Amino acid sequence: MPSPRVKRTATSFSTNNNGRIEFMSLLTNRTSASETPTVRHRASDSPVHRKDSFSSSTSSQQQQLPEEDCMKLNPSFFGIALRSLLAVDLWLSKKLGVCAREGSSWGSARPMMKLIEISGHGIPWIAGTIYYLYTSDSYAVREVILNLLFALLLDIILVGVVKGIVKRRRPTQNRMDMFATFSVDKYSFPSGHATRAAMVSRFVLNHLVLAVPVRLLVILWAVVVCLSRVMLGRHNVTDVLFGYFMGHMQYSIVEYFWLSPNALPSLFKM
């Protein structure tokens, strides 16, 4: 018969052994259950995981960019050339604006340039044309002056329409002290003085009999008016070049729609 002490010890050992096994299993389960979310949380907060998630989201956003945004990121050769041309235009216009202010390098010549500006303004030309239209006694002269008036009015309309569509601001060095300006004159493209100078000079050279020195003066006047627009800082170089080309095209329109005395008989009977 075994001694009660030994039996008690065995029972105690068995109980302790079972309890230890159960305790270790619970401890293992709890440890595994508590470590799993910790590991997951650390993995989600790790810099590598964040970098991978950021790169994947960035790549997905780049794949979903619209086509026009891709074109902005990868501009075409035409876009680069246009921007380069505009940059050169602004730089050259600022360099040539030597009369833009009184303190400019040629600021003393500013009053003379403003007189040239008035000589190419539309109001003096229209007023003088209307005056000679009603005071002239020659039937042929009235016909020529009538078409010159038509050309001047066409110039104002077309230049105003193009300026309203393009809406290009005047150069930063410009000072708005021009003679008799309108709301559309706050825009720069194209130069109305350049269109008028080119059109009027071509009209006069083709429809008036002038001596050679006078013809040279007419050509010189048109060139000086165009140059004065850049020197005064009123326009950029491209505004004047396009305006000069546009003036020649306007003259072609006037020649195509030439007004004869028979078209307005009541006006010629005055």
Same domain, 128 and 257: yes
Same domain, 57 and 109: no
187 has which bridge partners?
169
Same domain, 116 and 249: yes
Q: Any catalytic annotation for residue 193?
A: yes
More confidently predicted of 69 and 157: 157
Residues in the chain: 270
Q: For the whole model, what pTM was predicted? A: 0.68
Give the N- to C-terminal CA distance of the chain in Å, as an integer.
157
- Distance from C-alpha of 233 to C-alpha of 224, rounded to nearest angstrom: 14
- Distance from C-alpha of 141 to C-alpha of 55, rounded to nearest angstrom: 79
Q: Is the per-residue pLDDT at 5 higher than 60?
A: no
Q: Any catalytic annotation for residue 248?
A: no
Q: Is the per-residue pLDDT at 41 higher than 50?
A: no
61-93: per-residue pLDDT in tens? 445 544 444 445 456 877 888 888 888 989 998
- Distance from C-alpha of 133 to C-alpha of 206, rounded to nearest angstrom: 19
- Distance from C-alpha of 231 to C-alpha of 71, rounded to nearest angstrom: 37
- Asked if residue 232 is part of any domain, the answer here is yes
| Cβ 190 vs Cβ 162: under 8 Å | yes
Same domain, 99 and 55: no
- Distance from C-alpha of 211 to C-alpha of 195, rounded to nearest angstrom: 24
- Distance from C-alpha of 178 to C-alpha of 228, rounded to nearest angstrom: 13
161-178: per-residue pLDDT in tens? 999 999 999 988 888 777
- Distance from C-alpha of 113 to C-alpha of 201, rounded to nearest angstrom: 19
Same domain, 241 and 142: yes
Q: Name residues whose C-beta falls within 8 Å of residue 65's C-beta, 6 or more positions apart in sequence.
A: 73
Q: Is 187 helix (H, G, I), strand (E, B) or coil?
A: strand
Per annotation, catalytic residue among 41, 49, 207, 235: 235
137-152: per-residue pLDDT in tens? 888 888 999 999 999 9
> What pLDDT score does 10 carry?
43
Per annotation, catalytic residue among 41, 49, 121, 193: 193
Same domain, 118 and 182: yes
Residue (of 210, 106, 207, 189) closest to 149 by Cα position: 207
**What's the number of domains the chain is made of?**
2
**Host domain of residue 204:** 95-268
> What pLDDT score does 177 carry?
79
Q: Is the dihedral of CA 191, 204, 133, 150 positive or negative?
A: negative
| 35-39, 101-105, 264-268: least confident range | 35-39
Q: Is 169 helix (H, G, I), strand (E, B) or coil?
A: strand
Q: How far is CA 147 from CA 85, 104, 255, in A?
A: 37, 41, 9
Burial of 259 (0-12, 13-18, 19+ CB in 10 A): middle
